[in-house]
């Protein structure tokens, strides 16, 4: 009898849980900047986005801003692309960030600027989740004006 009650309670929880909770398990320290793991279960819908770059600060212009501004611009673009697939930033399970040396940073990437832009989209009131992530410095991107390129995988 006890196992029937436990099974029924488990079934009720499974039915009440949102689809994302059933298909994706995110593992990490609460409040941490990034996850240590994300497990995507069978049956999940997965979307892979190619590398995305920032848009000009003014349409038609050639000013793309610093690393933080480019991170924000690129994440806004990713947010729109995910919405077209019925997903949100909460559904991102993997991000690869490619950064080049930032002006005035003595040949180094602006990791703090990137993290500041990242924080506007993750672990906040709108999106209390985060993602697994690798951030690396590369020699160059598609053009000399670009400081940030992001690829993501989303699942739910």
Q: What is the pLDDT of residues 105-142, one digit of tens each?
A: 999 999 999 999 999 999 999 999 999 999 999 999 99
CATH numeric code, 23-155: 3.30.1330.40
> CA–CA separation, 83 vs 18, rounded Å?
18
pTM here is: 0.84
Q: What 3-state class would DSSP assign to 77?
A: helix
Q: What is the pLDDT of residue 21?
A: 56
Paired sense of beta strands 92-99 and 46-53, if any:
unpaired
Q: Which residues of the chain fall below pLDDT 50?
A: 1-20
- pLDDT, residue 149, reads 98
**Rounded CA separation 86/123 (Å):** 21
Burial 31-44 (b: 16+ CB within 10 A, else e): eeebbeebebeeeb
pLDDT at 110: 98
Tokens at residue 28, please? Answer: 């990490």
Give the per-residue pLDDT at 6: 36
CB atoms within 10 A of CB 77: 16
Count of CB atoms within 10 A of residue 29's CB? 10
């Amino acid at each position: 009898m006890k196992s029937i009650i436990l099974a029924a309670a488990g079934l009720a929880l499974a039915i009440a849980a949102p689809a994302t909770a059933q298909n994706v398990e995110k593992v990490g320290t609460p409040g941490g900047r990034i996850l240590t793991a994300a497990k995507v279960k069978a049956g999940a819908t997965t979307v892979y986005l190619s590398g995305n770059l920032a848009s000009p600060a003014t349409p038609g212009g050639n000013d793309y801003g610093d690393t933080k501004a480019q991170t924000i611009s690129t994440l806004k673009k990713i947010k729109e692309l995910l919405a077209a697939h019925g997903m949100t930033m909460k559904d991102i399970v993997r991000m690869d960030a490619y950064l080049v040396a930032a002006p005035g940073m003595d040949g180094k990437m602006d990791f703090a600027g990137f993290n500041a832009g990242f924080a506007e989209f993750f672990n906040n009131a709108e999106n209390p989740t985060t993602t697994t992530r690798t951030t690396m410095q590369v020699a160059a991107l598609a053009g000399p004006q670009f400081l940030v390129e992001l690829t993501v995988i989303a699942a739910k």
